Amino acid sequence: MYLVTELCEGGDLKDLLQKNKHFTEEETRHIIKSLSEAIVYLHKKDIVHRDLKLENILVKSCHQGNDNDMVNIKVTDFGLSVQKGGVGSENMLQATCGTPIYMAPEVVNGHQYSQQCDLWSIGVIMYMLLCGEPPFISSSRERLSEMIMKGELTFSGPVWHTISDAAKNVIRCLLNVDPAHRITANELLDNPWISGDTSTIVTRTNVLEMMRQFRNAPEEEESVEMSEGLQNLSLTSSQDKGSGPRTSQELSVTPAPPEDVIDSSSSSKPSTPNKKVKKYRNTVHTNTKVKHFCLIMH
């Protein structure tokens, strides 16, 4: 039996990294983009690689870019890969396997995990490409596991002074200890940093993360965003039989100036004797400011 594969003359990415010490951000972007495209393809096929590392990324060739030699890579070694839904896949996706420094926290724990473990490995690879060292390293397996479980990242050293905040944020999203909040392969491929925009901060798509970000936002930005959100908020009540000819009405929540409160008692339409108008005054605190809203319920 003969197995014919592509010739990758450049060896693997680990050898190339040891030779270069570290890659520039532009070179790293090109490699991570190519790696993301490969993993998006695999995950669409429900294939989890489970052993992504520098040694398993072969260098097909290098071609001259605008400023740097760009590396053309190939993902290899599917000996530990598993296809979700296949025979025995549930047990396989609970097994602790792979290379320790690249293992995701959920793999270290041996809990049920998914293709998100591959994204953690990509984060480790990206970190190593930029600085030449892994984000978590220890001579003790137990200590290494503890460091991975905590996921406390540091960007110390002169090399990180040349790396954009956008790249660092991508690493943080990849090395999120919670796989549910970790960026996906598709989100990584669509990230502005991949397309070359180093000024854009990565956007978290998880709702809880967005709410937390909104809560911690500066006071001025929070006030603007709240006003815009409330202006778009409207509710339509069902038909009120006791309100005369009005068959429906729009119930709106409108922000008022801080020192004023909307007063609808001057409305031209009198209240019916068997209907009481209840006023609810809601107070929303935004740091030191207090916004008042009046919700009129019929």
- The contacts of residue 103 (CB under 8 Å, 6+ apart) are 96, 117, 120, 121, 148
Six-digit token pair at 78? 């599917």
Rounded CA-CA distance 158/192 in Å is 25
Helix (H, G, I), strand (E, B) or coil at 236: strand
Q: Give the type of residue at 286.
A: T
Centre a 10 Å sphere on the Cβ of residue 246 and count the other Cβ atoms it contains: 11
Burial tier of 29 (Cβ tally within 10 Å: 0-12, 13-18, 19+): buried
| Closest among 99, 95, 24, 9 to 54, alpha carbons compared | 99
Q: Which residue in the list 15, 51, 190, 263 is annotated as catalytic?
A: 51
What is the residue-wise DSSP string for 31-65?
HHHHHHHHHHHHHHTTEE-----GGGEEEEEEEE-
Within the chain, what is the greatest distance between any pair of CA atoms?
94
Rounded CA-CA distance 63/72 in Å is 7
Is 51 a residue of the active site?
A: yes
- Residues annotated as catalytic (active site), given as ranges: 51
